[in-house]
């Protein structure tokens, strides 16, 4: 999508610190980390948010949830939190579906 920052990152038009890439998804470190380790995993296809998931396009989410544990193992993360913000009211600022993966000693007890 033309003016989507994550589509531009996937295309290489905006630089990113890439962790992993395959045909379906792209993983990179968050520019503004909220914990010791903070990366994002996004589908390569532009899906604006979790609200736009359907039977037709949701398989990529299962795929992403197989990639996340592989990356966690590679990075030596013993425990981590996966977060998706859906909609402005929930804190979504980039409208290309993404999963935050956070790990480290400064994680709070619950959600953030
Ligand atoms: P949201 O608030 O939509 O759940 O999360 C968007 C995330 O994308 C934020 O944590 C923000 O720091 C990150 N982000 C926004 N723009 C860029 C960018 O250009 N590069 C990287 N690496 N992360 C970005
Ligand atoms: Zn996009």
Closest-approaching ligand to the CA atom of 1: 2
Nearest CA to ligand 1 atom 17: 31
Q: How far apart are CA 74 and CA 59, in angstroms?
A: 23
Against a cut of 0.75, is the pTM above it?
Answer: yes
pLDDT tens string 59-112: 999 999 999 999 999 999 999 999 999 999 999 999 999 999 999 987 877 665
Distance 1 CA to ligand 2 centre (A): 5
E strands, the chain, are 18-21, 25-29, 37-43, 81-83, 99-103
* pLDDT surpassing 70 at residue 57: yes
Spell out the residues 6+ positions from residue 25 whose beta carbon is closer than 8 angstroms to its own.
41, 42, 43, 44, 60, 63, 64, 67
Instruction: Give residue 27's pLDDT.
Output: 98
Q: Could you identify the atom of ligand 1 that is nearest to the CA of residue 90?
A: 4
Q: Could you identify the atom of ligand 1 that is nearest to the CA of residue 38?
A: 10
């Amino acid at each position: 999508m033309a003016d989507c920052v994550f589509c531009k990152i996937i295309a290489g038009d905006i630089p990113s610190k890439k962790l992993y890439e395959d045909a379906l998804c792209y993983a990179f470190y968050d520019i503004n980390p909220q914990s010791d380790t903070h990366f994002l995993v996004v589908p390569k296809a532009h899906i604006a948010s979790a609200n736009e998931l359907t039977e037709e396009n949701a398989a990529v989410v299962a795929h992403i949830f197989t990639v996340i544990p592989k990356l966690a193992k590679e990075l030596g993360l013993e425990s981590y939190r996966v977060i998706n913000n859906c909609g402005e009211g929930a804190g979504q600022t980039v409208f290309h579906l993404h999963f935050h993966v956070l790990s480290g000693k400064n994680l709070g007890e619950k959600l953030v």
